[in-house]
Structure 1
Amino acid sequence: MATVELRFSAQPEHVRTARLVAAAVARRAGVEEAVLDEVRLAVGEACSRAVGLHRGIGLTAPVRVVLTEEDKTFSIEVGDEVPVAGTAAGDAAAGGGAAADSDVDTEDEMGLAVISGLVDDLEVTSGESGGTIRMSWPVSGSSDLP
């Protein structure tokens, strides 16, 4: 099992780098060429979502991307450190009014809808320490590329 971990500051310009790294690692892991565009798009959307959540509350913590190559699957986890509203930490971080919360919720739902359209195996979790989007794709053949 091989793992690559990427952390980047919550700036939109770093999302492109995350997409490129994800596509390169996915290719090396054995994800089919026809699926690489879906990997790029899904990672871009997940990272953009995390960047938006961080910037929305002024959080300076980095966005975390973990790419894992296993025997038959390639998985990517994109994590943010934005606590869920309803927890003590989430209530303290929320700050904005109802209109601001509604806009963020709508954008968040749209981002997750796009990701779910691109990825068959998707898991979204969230809690007091932040959220994680876990996506995985099947790999074909050997990953012993030069």
Structure 2
Amino acid sequence: MPTVELLFSAQPEHVRTARLVAAAVARRAGVDEAVLDEVRLAVGEACSRAVGLHRSNGVEAPVRVRLIEEEKKFAIEVTDEVPSSASGSAPDAAGDDAGDEGEMGLAVISGLVDDVDVTETATGGVIRMSWPVVTP
């Protein structure tokens, strides 16, 4: 099944492009029009979180977004390349505003998307979200 993959440098201005592409591919995949705003918002939050993690940890690798059309659902995976030890939730002595924003982003995503899975590994994190598609 077709997959669109975006790679972009960890710059906030690229998040808007990821949102627009995600909404266009979701529409083409058959996601209900009423849900497209949720798709845009969730992708924006996930990408903003990845950009923040990359920037606050000095990671030069691009943020990866995969848009996957499956048989009865449309999935989006947003991948950062910040090791889980670097993106841990323990604030440092100066405070951890990037971590707080990341946790807030995850809370927003959880409120928007019924099917969401967050995985953190030694090499980075993946937020996988999916929505049902409307069959004609």
Q: Secondary structure at the match of 2:103?
A: helix
- Which amino acid letter does the alignment assign opposite residue 82 of structure 1? V
Q: Which residue of 2 aligns with 1:108?
A: 102
- Unmatched 5+ residue regions in structure 2? none
Q: Which residue of 2 aligns with 1:141?
A: 135
Partners of 1:55 and 1:26 lie apart in 2 by: 28
Q: Which residue of 2 aligns with 1:75?
A: 75
| Selected match of 1:128 from 117, 122, 130 | 122
TM-score (ref. length: structure 1): 0.87
Q: Which residue of 2 aligns with 1:84?
A: 84
Partners of 2:73 and 2:93 lie apart in 1 by: 41
Partners of 2:98 and 2:3 lie apart in 1 by: 32
Q: Identity percentage over the alignment?
A: 74
Greater than 4 Å deviation, 4+ residue runs = none
Partners of 2:113 and 2:94 lie apart in 1 by: 30
- Unmatched 5+ residue regions in structure 1? none
Q: Secondary structure at the match of 2:117?
A: strand
Aligned residues: 133
Matched ranges for 1:1-146 at <5 A: 1-85=1-85, 90=86, 97-100=92-95, 102-142=96-136
Partners of 1:103 and 1:56 lie apart in 2 by: 10
- Which amino acid letter does the alignment assign opposite residue 57 of structure 1? N
Partners of 2:122 and 2:61 lie apart in 1 by: 15
- Which amino acid letter does the alignment assign opposite residue 50 of structure 2? A
Partners of 1:105 and 1:9 lie apart in 2 by: 20
Query: Which structure has the greater CA radius of gyration?
Result: 1
TM-score (ref. length: structure 2): 0.93
CA RMSD of aligned residues (A): 1.5
